[in-house]
A and B are shown apart, each in its own frame.
Chain A
Amino acid sequence: MSDTVFANSTELGAEASDWIALLKPRVLTLVVFTGAIGLVIAPVHMNPILAITAILCITVAAGAAGAINMWYDRDIDAIMKRTATRPIPAGRIQPNAALAYGIVLSVFSVLVMWLAANFVAATVLAISIAFYVFVYTIWLKRRTPQNIVIGGAAGAFPPVIGWAAATGSISLLPILLFLIVLVWTPPHFWSLSLYASGDYERAGVPMLPVVKGARHTRWNVFIYTLALVPLTLSPVFFGLAGWVYGVAATALGLGFIYYAWRVLSDSQDARGVSLTKDAPAKLAFRYSILYLFLLFGACALDRLI
Chain B
Amino acid sequence: MMKTEDWTPEMVAEFKRRRRGRNYLLLAALGGFCLLIYAIALVKLHEYGQMW
Write the residues of chain A forming the contact surface with B, with a CB cutoff of 8 angstroms.
Answer: 1-2, 5-6, 9, 11-17, 19-20, 47, 49-50, 53, 56, 108, 112, 115-116
Q: In the assembly, what is the distance between CA of A5 and CA of B2, in Å?
A: 15
> Cβ of B40 and Cβ of A50 under 8 Å apart?
yes
Closest-CB distance, A68 to chain B (whole angstroms): 18
> Cβ of B14 and Cβ of A6 under 8 Å apart?
yes
> Cβ of B14 and Cβ of A11 under 8 Å apart?
no
Residues of B within 8 A of A116 (CB): 40
> Cβ of B14 and Cβ of A50 under 8 Å apart?
no
Write the residues of chain B forming the contact surface with A, with a CB cutoff of 8 angstroms.
Answer: 1-2, 10-11, 13-15, 17-19, 21-22, 24-25, 33, 36-37, 39-40, 42-43, 47
> Cβ of B47 and Cβ of A13 under 8 Å apart?
no
Number of A-B contacts (CB under 8 A): 55
Q: In the assembly, what is the distance between CA of A14 and CA of B17, in Å?
A: 10
Q: Quick one: which of B14, B22, B43 contacts A49, CB cutoff 8 A? A: B43
Residues of B within 8 A of A112 (CB): 36-37, 40
> Cβ of A49 and Cβ of B40 under 8 Å apart?
yes
> Cβ of A2 and Cβ of B40 under 8 Å apart?
no
> Cβ of B40 and Cβ of A9 under 8 Å apart?
no
> Cβ of B43 and Cβ of A12 under 8 Å apart?
no
Q: Quick one: which of B15, B24, B40 contacts A16, CB cutoff 8 A? A: B24
Q: Interface majority SS on A: helix, strand, loop or mixed?
A: helix
On whether A9 and B14 interact (CB within 8 A), knowing A15-B21, A47-B43, A49-B43, the answer reads yes
Residues of B within 8 A of A50 (CB): 40, 43
Closest-CB distance, B2 to chain A (whole angstroms): 6
Residues of B within 8 A of A19 (CB): 22, 25
Q: In the assembly, what is the distance between CA of A56 and CA of B32, in Å?
A: 11
Could you pull out 16 A-B pairs where Cβ atoms are within 8 angstroms? A2-B10, A2-B13, A6-B14, A12-B11, A12-B18, A13-B18, A13-B22, A14-B18, A15-B22, A20-B25, A47-B43, A47-B47, A49-B42, A53-B39, A53-B40, A112-B37
Q: Quick one: which of A6, A11, A13, A56 contacts B36, CB cutoff 8 A? A: A56
Q: Quick one: which of B1, B17, B22 contacts A2, CB cutoff 8 A? A: B17
Q: In the assembly, what is the distance between CA of A6 and CA of B11, in Å?
A: 8
On whether A16 and B13 interact (CB within 8 A), knowing A47-B43, A116-B40, the answer reads no
- Output the nearest chain A residue to B41 by Cβ-Cβ distance: A115
Extra pairs beyond A13-B22, A47-B43 (7, CB < 8 Å): A9-B11, A11-B2, A15-B18, A15-B22, A16-B21, A16-B24, A17-B21
Residues of A within 8 A of B43 (CB): 47, 49-50
Give the residue among B15, B18, B21, B25 with the most A Cβ atoms within 10 A. B18
> Cβ of A13 and Cβ of B15 under 8 Å apart?
yes
- Output the nearest chain B residue to A17 by Cβ-Cβ distance: B21
> Cβ of A14 and Cβ of B11 under 8 Å apart?
no
Residues of B within 8 A of A108 (CB): 33
Closest-CB distance, B43 to chain A (whole angstroms): 5
Q: In the assembly, what is the distance between CA of A15 and CA of B33, in Å?
A: 21
Q: In the assembly, what is the distance between CA of A115 and CA of B19, in Å?
A: 33
